[in-house]
Chains A and B, each alone.
Chain A
Amino acid sequence: MSTVKDTAAEAAGALADGSTTSVELTEMHLDRIDAVDTAVDGRGIHAFLHVDREGALAQAAESDARRARGEARGPLDGVPIAVKDVLATRGLPTTCGSKILEGWIPPYDATVVQRLRVAGLPILGKTNMDEFAMGSSTEHSAYGPTRNPWDLDRIPGGSGGGSAAAVASFQAPLAIGTDTGGSIRQPGAVTGTVGVKPTYGGVSRYGLVALANSLDQAGPVTRTVRDSAMLHDVIGGHDLRDSTSIKTEWPSFTEAAAQGATGDMSGVKVGVITELAGDGWQSGVMARFNESVELLVKAGAEVVEVSCPSFVHALAAYYLILPAEASSNLAKFDAMRFGLRVTPDGDPSAEDVMRATRDAGFGDEVKRRIILGTYALSSGYYDAYYGQAQKIRTLISRDFEAAFARVDVLVSPTAPTTAFKLGEKLDDPMAMYLNDLATIPANLAGVPGISVPNGLADEDGLPSGFQVLAPALADDRVYRVGAALEKLLTDQWGGPLLDRAPELETDR
């Protein structure tokens, strides 16, 4: 019998052999959402900002009807999914975690969402996130934080804490996240789930409300590597509406994951990034990382140390490029055409309305980055800030090129620490930014990366993540290596890591 703990692949199998229906699966997950997401005492997970029970069940019924006619559209037809609230969904609210978009219902679907609909995945709802994806804890959501299923007093990572927590707490087998500097991978690491940032241009950004256009990438959030691969196969590929999306024939990532799941790593050269370790890296995280590397060696991988000297500047470059692009992207939120409108008293001009709306509608972190970005782009400062940051970006790409000339994949811990306490870093933006130290270089260079859960840190019993990075276009490698490590670890553990997560108290 199917349960919410089934992976997407298992659910797909049950649909295929007729032992369950999409309506049954979808209902089961909607019930789970009801049970754990909005607990009466305010200690629910709060992964969702909007649940579309009616819509999801209608799509599930259509899927069942299709399957009955022998017209199932693919392996995931009928498997429900949650979507980060930064992707436009026709007819469903899309807030980006911001008050400024409260009540906005897009008249169109993001390409990723459209592809989910075409493939027949019922959309359960929209998941919580840091406002406009700015943050590493989901605490910057204007609608309140999401809690980590492993410890309700801790953060689920960010910005896509909602998607990761939804998957980790079995409210959805699959979710879509977006990753600008680690927003898929870091939440994956701290919630014990799998997250993939595809090659820049591998998945269409059309309909993804841009944080930083040159860094953003949507990708899968799941509990297994195979599920991520299956989802990636559905959402990836060129899109005429996104001219930065790549025109290429992608291999089947599901195949790549299946290959990796044999656990054979012979012939694979793995580089451990020297710069992503040391001071400030939690000892339990490093211990799990080193054990994982040992496992890969035992499975036949050749492991070497690789230095990427420019990575130490990645964070500084990132916090110029991102705010610069964001400051311009967020200019359109001006109360003229959509979203919140605050009209000051008296006889306000359009500019007065814009000012009042932006003041009331944006949170502090968003304002902080708009100010940073506006400054970085100002004439007279452009070369010193934005220009320099772009040069660092080039150096980081060169570091990757040099490294990938020697090895097939690069690895590091996904995040320096396990999940920290809610509120712990809220007043210290720099401490918050440091969470993305290991994930940011991939965004700056446009290369793909995966985070695979690789155990619990001894000092706090919380999950840590293992990051695998590959050259641009070689996303299949992260699936292959990720699946191999997952297989080796689960064999060792005797089951998925999430089996060790505490049972959530439910309302029933």
Chain B
Amino acid sequence: MSAHTNDTALMSYEDVLAAFDPAIGLEVHVELNTASKMFCGCPATFGGDPNAGVCPTCLGLPGAMPVVNAKAVESAIRIGLALNCDIAEWCRFARKNYFYPDMPKNFQTSQYDEPICFDGWMDVDLQNEAGETETFRVEIERAHMEEDTGKSLHVGGATGRIHGADYSLVDYNRAGIPLIEIVTRPIMGAGERAPEVAKAYVAQLRELIVALGVSEARMDQGNLRADVNLSLAPKGSGTLGTRTETKNVNSFRSVERAVRYEMQRHGAILSDGGSILQETRHWHEDTGVTTSGREKSDAEDYRYFPEPDLVPVAPSREWVEELRGTLPENPTVRRARLQAAWGFTDMEMRDTVGAGALGLVEETIAEGAAPQAARKWWLGELARRSNEDGVDIVDLPITPAQVARIQALVDDRTVNDKLARQVFEGVLAGEGSPDEVVEKRGLAVVSDDGALGAAVDNAIAANPDIADKIRDGKHAAAGALIGAVMKEMRGQADAGRVRELILEKLG
């Protein structure tokens, strides 16, 4: 679909690492799940009829004024605290001035030099080759509050981008939805692991956001959006090179791929004596490349100044401490606790975390599934689908409750493992709930003794030698008869019951 083919010169990854030190920087936008927008009472839910969820304030009509959403401030502070940030005693909103049709006021109400949260850090867990956990500290420069823009839809043209479009439509429902932008300091010293660190940071940040309950945090829905900054400096120089900012990176996997790609692209340019253009680049998920967006030079001047329509935000220390008390468990502590509770081996735990499925497994267990069963499905069937489809595991169209239900169907022998895989397939294909899929596809195993008895009789009649062995007490031979019954029942037989019936009849 994309016209962007990979004719950009790339340096081999090993050569990049031999000559350069990468520095990465991540700007993550988190769309809060508050009931109303950042500065007005309109619903903060995305979607619905275009331009139905708007009012004079979020449409920027002349005369309308903003009022700060206290719940959004609370969420911002909780995110800041969870990221070990200081919380400003006094801070203001600022106007970021630039013209764009999806920005109702042609300025974004954001924060500039007075962010509500600043100077924090997050320890990102990485696995070394020996399978041990190592932490890498990512320093957080700031987390600030701002409002989202509307959404432009470019109609006509080949790319869906503004260039070449016949006309554009703007939906302002998203305008004014509260965002928290979390900005890291330049992450240096990650070397060859830079792409991995970037991915792990975003994944762990998402885990934290979900645990805080402040956002739906779905990357595929745009609730969590990552901009990836990358620069290379001559190896050992300790300096920072010119950076590029890659936008539209919509999955953990893409974060990793985008960093790697930009490292290779920068490396090729720099080693060829060229210089990097400071610019915004777009990530193309399908082709795995970045292309130049608008140039972001020093000439771009947002003319920030304090928003005069809002009073400063001055969270009391008492409130901040009260919110500190509502923080979820630290992810490292949490992982240790869960591993103990579930009885997972280090290897099992590492794989679960590595697959980004820790929360999913936990929720599935909370829905009633046994720990090993929950792990088995998420890391087996579902991890495979996630890889095949190139979507993050959390974004698969199946819920932990549904996974738990499928396991329950296995436990009560409605389906066996093999049929369960078909149930997964049906749910992922959008055919409905597990029970509906079983019903529609006719997947329930037969445990009715009448039907099974007839099949067992047939199997015994067809395999007299084996039947004799069983009669002689060689119960292990029952497997062959079970196979025959399963074949006749086209897999939809309760294997346990079949075995019991065989032994009853031949015992």
Contact = CB atoms under 8 A, between A and B. Distances in A.
Interface in B153-188: 168, 170
Nearest to A379: B301
B61 A338 contact: yes
Contacts of B65: 205-206, 241-243
Contacts of A360: none
Contacts of A96: 62
Contact of B106 (A108, A332, A379): A332
Given A328-B97, A328-B107, A331-B97, A213 B309 contact: yes
Interface string A241-267: 111100000000000000000000000
B310 interface: yes
A317 to B, nearest CB: 14
B106 A331 contact: yes
A328 B305 contact: yes
A386 B311 CA distance: 19
A124 to B, nearest CB: 20
A386 B67 contact: no
Contacts of A212: 308
A214 interface: yes
A185 to B, nearest CB: 21
Nearest to A335: B101
B43 interface: no
B310 A338 contact: no
A207 interface: yes
B266 interface: no
A60 interface: no
A488 interface: no
Contacts of B199: none
Contacts of B67: 240-243
A469 interface: no
Interface string B78-121: 00000000000000000101010100111100000000000000
Nearest to B167: A350
B105 A332 contact: yes
Nearest to A215: B308
Interface size range on A against B: 35 or more
Interface of B is mostly: loop
Given A243-B68, A337-B60, A328 B303 contact: yes
Contacts of A240: 67
B305 A386 contact: yes
A382 interface: yes
Contact of A377 (B56, B59, B97): B97
Contacts of A272: none
B18 interface: no
Given A208-B63, A328-B95, A331-B105, A350 B305 contact: no
A196 interface: no
Given A108-B61, A337-B60, A378-B301, A331 B309 contact: no
Contact of A374 (B63, B68, B303): B303
A244 B168 contact: no
A457 B59 CA distance: 49
B305 A334 contact: no
A332 B104 contact: yes
Given A108-B64, A377-B303, 19 more contacts: A88-B62, A205-B65, A207-B64, A209-B63, A240-B67, A242-B67, A243-B309, A243-B311, A244-B311, A325-B308, A328-B97, A328-B107, A331-B97, A331-B99, A332-B62, A333-B62, A336-B101, A350-B101, A377-B97
11 contacts: A87-B63, A106-B61, A205-B65, A207-B64, A210-B63, A243-B65, A243-B309, A244-B309, A244-B310, A325-B308, A334-B99
Interface of B: 56, 59-68, 95, 97, 99, 101, 104-107, 168, 170, 301, 303-305, 308-311
